[in-house]
Amino acid sequence: MRAALSSEWLKLRSVTSTFHAIGAAALMVALGVVWTFYVGGLADARGAIRVAAPEQAFLPLVQMSLAVIGVLTITSEHTTGMIRASLTAVPRRGALLLAKVGMVGAATFVAAHAVILTTYVVSRLIAGDRQLGFNEVTFSHDLPMLLASGLSVTVLALVGLGLGFVTRSTAGAIVSVVSLLFVLPAAATYLPPSWNTRVAVFIGNLRGDPRLQAGRNRTPAEQGRGRRFAARRTAVKPPHDTARFGSAFDGGDDQAIGRTIGNTLAAELAERRNACGAGVRPQRESSRAGDRRRSRKPNRRRLESRFFRAGRMSSCPTWCNRSPTSSCRDGSAVSS
């Protein structure tokens, strides 16, 4: 096994594609510098702001780049035919795959953490004592999140390896990884309720999406700190400014560790879709019911009550973060 690992290590570092992929991942540092300078300038002009940390905002870049390493580790052998020589040298297929898993896991784990930690340190140095939101907690507080981010990259690289192993095609496996990261989360929100959140949370966990943990693993101290911060900010800035930033960046008093830009949160969307009385119109139920009683206009209240009885009733208060509406907190009001 040691021999196979050492061979895989040489395979990994003897092709340029590995370094291209790591180079692409390392762009995060450059982007982090640009981002921090930009938001730092905004903070200089307007006082404290609250924006995403670059190592969270640009995490998908690292994930994609290093997932490509995982994919190529196996598909490059299949496309070139090198796999035959490899399997002749290591006839036990499980051992060969295991060696690849070990090497991809280790290499991407180290590379991802190097990139993420560099971005972290550089951005904090540039930010200095400006109040940017992301730089107001200690390193020890951020550390679990940084480790989790690096680990999510490793997991995605291994998923890429697995997909490459199954598809045996570079293009097929990379498209699958991209779908998993960017297409499936959006598609998941269209699944029927309870499943949409389940799938979205699963994918979110796979992507290491920090917002999924944001609301749940929060300690009271952090909540308090978040509130203090909010109070301070509203004191610094005029209300209209707050509103403007609220749309561009994350404006909430919520201590969301990384509200990332351009990183659609499927779970949140799904949550919103499920939120009682909001956005959810049981369209399919309605049309089915309409079919049954062609002559009658579907009774919206009855349909909604059916909908809630079917499965929403119990889960409703858990998920609903909105102020109670006619149909939400009090399920009995609906079913009456």
Partner 1 sequence: MIELRQLTKHYGVTLAVDDLTFTVTPGHVTGFLGPNGSGKSTAMRLILGLDAPDSGEALVNGRPYTSLGLPMRQVGALLDANAVHGGRSAYNHLLCLARTNDIGPRRVTEVLEQVGLAGAARRRVGGFSLGMKQRLGIAAALLGDPGVLMFDEPVNGLDPGGVRWIRDLMRTLAAEGRTILLSSHLMSEMALTAERIVIVGRGRLIADTTVDELTASHPTLEDAYMALTASSVQFGTSR
Judged by CB under 8 A, the number of residues near partner 1 is: 24
User: Does 88 help bind partner 1 (rule: CB under 8 A)?
Assistant: yes
What share of residues in the chain are helix, strand, coil (percent, to 5)? 75, 0, 25
Neighbour tally for 180: CB within 10 Å:
18
Q: Which stretch binds partner 1 (CB under 8 A): 43-51, 76-84, 150-158, 283-291?
A: 76-84
DSSP 193: T
Maximum CA extent, the chain: 76
Query: Minimum CB separation from partner 1 for residue 76, in Å?
Result: 6
CB of 72 to partner 1, least distance (A): 10
Using the rule CB under 8 A, is 92 a contact of partner 1?
yes
Q: Which two tokens stand for residue 193?
A: 């309720």
Residue 204: closest CA among 146, 155, 171, 252: 155
Q: Read off the amino acid at residue 121.
A: V
Q: Which of 6, 217, 264, 321 binds partner 1 (CB under 8 A)?
A: 6
Using the contact rule CB under 8 A, the part of the chain among 13-21, 135-143, 183-191, 272-280 near partner 1 is: 13-21
Q: Which lies closer to partner 1 via its Cβ, residue 83 or residue 178?
A: 83
Q: Does 325 bind partner 1 (CB under 8 A)?
A: no
Confirm if 58 and 149 have CB atoms less than 8 A apart. Answer: no
Which amino acid, 255?
A: Q
Tell me if 80 contacts partner 1 by CB under 8 A: yes
CB 28 within 8 A of CB 55: yes
301 is a site residue for partner 1 (CB under 8 A): no
Binding site for partner 1 (CB under 8 A): 3-4, 6-7, 10-11, 14-17, 76-77, 80-82, 84-92
